[in-house]
Amino acid sequence: MKVKTLRIISIFILCVFVLSGCTSNTPADNSSAGTGEKSSTTIVTSFYPLYIFTKNVAKGIQDVKVVNMTEPQTGCLHDYQLIPADMKTLEGADAFVINGAGMEAFMDKVLEQQEDLKVIEASKGIKLLKDENGEENAHVWVSISGAIQEVKNIAEGLAQADTKNAGAYKENAEAYVKLLEAQREKMHKELDTFKKKDIVTFHEAFPYFAEEFGLNIVSVIEREPGTDPSAGEIADLIETIKKTDCKVLFAEPQYSQKAAESIAKQTGAKVYLLDPVVTGEKDAPEDSYIKAMDENLKVLTEAFRQNQ
């Protein structure tokens, strides 16, 4: 009896060791077993508008994460300098979505350090407008038509980079494009009724928007944000506004309106805020771009009704 009991106990102990060997106490990682491939995808975007577009394209897709490299209040990346945290973020990226068209001047530095990084240029194939000096304007997303093309480019790029979710990216993009098209139609319906649409803008963010909705940019207060116009430039601008009888000055919520307000006092014009959608909340919802455009429509409608 004792021998039988000892045999049962020995078998039990052996089973415990076998089961312990089959159970891991370490947490599971994100790699597919035996393949070495990541089961999750991290998409990094360069700044706010690309973040919103990409969030819509990747909406609801399991194990796909969208991260914005810069702070959502950074604004346009004209003179942006990379910081170590940015490079750290890009180290974990499966794809990097940028605006392109010269907006991200730091890309040479990025590619020097990460040669294999998959870069998706949202403005690819879009005809770029040029200023009076022949410099190309990168603010294509401010036009809804430009935003639509960027969304399509993002979806196409992500479909190539992450083939298993290709269908979902394209389906999401199609759904979002329909919403953008509806917003564009809504804005045309309102704005096309106004004959006089002369405006002065804060900086060179609105040429694509103006072209789309038939606005006439009489002059620009500052070619680049943060570069105060000289006394001579202000005098010329005031003269131009008086000659054209333009009563609508558009500043941007991201920047100081002091220059615009000073000019308004000397010309009788009124300052309104028009949003180029370059900043927003940290975890901005997917409808943020459309909401910003809807607010722009309200502002433009009010301005033009008072100045016909």
In order of their start, the domains of the chain are 41-186 (3.40.50.1980), 192-305 (3.40.50.1980)
State the average pLDDT for the chain: 86
Residue 33 has pLDDT above 70, yes or no: no
Confidence of residue 2 (pLDDT cuts 50, 70, 90): very low
DSSP string, 80-119: ----HHHHHHHHT-SEEEE--TTS-TTHHHHHHH-TT--E
What's the whole-model pTM score? 0.85
Q: Which of 61-65, 229-233, 279-283 has the weakest average pLDDT?
A: 229-233
Residue 226 is predicted with a pLDDT of: 59
Confidence of residue 223 (pLDDT cuts 50, 70, 90): low
Per DSSP, helices labelled H in the chain are 2-22, 48-57, 84-91, 107-113, 144-161, 166-191, 207-213, 231-244, 258-267, 288-305
Q: What is the pLDDT of residues 171-213, one digit of tens each?
A: 999 999 999 999 999 999 999 999 999 999 988 899 999 999 9
Residue 260 is predicted with a pLDDT of: 83
Residue 308 is predicted with a pLDDT of: 73
Q: What percent of the chain has pLDDT over 70?
A: 85
Letter string b/e over residues 134-163, b meaning 16 or more CB atoms within 10 A of that residue's CB: eeebbbbbbbbbbbbbbbbbbbbbbbebbe
CA 74 centroid distance within chain: 11
Residue 149 has pLDDT above 80, yes or no: yes
Confidence of residue 38 (pLDDT cuts 50, 70, 90): low
Reading the block at residue 55, the tokens are 């969030």
Residue 113 is predicted with a pLDDT of: 93
Place of tokens 């974990």: 92
Mean pLDDT throughout 114-143? 94
- Rounded to whole angstroms, the Cα distance separating 273 from 252 reads 5
- Rounded to whole angstroms, the Cα distance separating 29 from 80 reads 35
Q: Is the Cβ–Cβ distance between 130 and 136 less than 8 Å?
A: yes
Q: How far apart are the first and last CA of the chain?
A: 108
Phi, psi of 200 (to 5 degrees): -115, 130
Q: Which of 26-30, 55-59, 188-192 has the weakest average pLDDT?
A: 26-30
Confidence of residue 289 (pLDDT cuts 50, 70, 90): very high
Confidence of residue 32 (pLDDT cuts 50, 70, 90): very low
Residue 256 is predicted with a pLDDT of: 74
Secondary structure tally for the chain: helices H, strands E: 10, 8
Residue 14 is predicted with a pLDDT of: 36
Mean pLDDT throughout 297-304? 97
Confidence of residue 263 (pLDDT cuts 50, 70, 90): confident
Higher-confidence position of 210 and 231: 210
Strands 95-98 and 119-121: parallel
Q: Is the Cβ–Cβ distance between 118 and 111 less than 8 Å?
A: no
Residue 49 has pLDDT above 70, yes or no: yes
Residue 16 is predicted with a pLDDT of: 35
Higher-confidence position of 106 and 307: 106
Residue 7 has pLDDT above 70, yes or no: no
Helix (H) or strand (E) holding 204: none
Phi, psi of 43 (to 5 degrees): -110, 125
Confidence of residue 20 (pLDDT cuts 50, 70, 90): very low
The SS3 call for residue 292 is: helix
Mean pLDDT throughout 215-221? 89
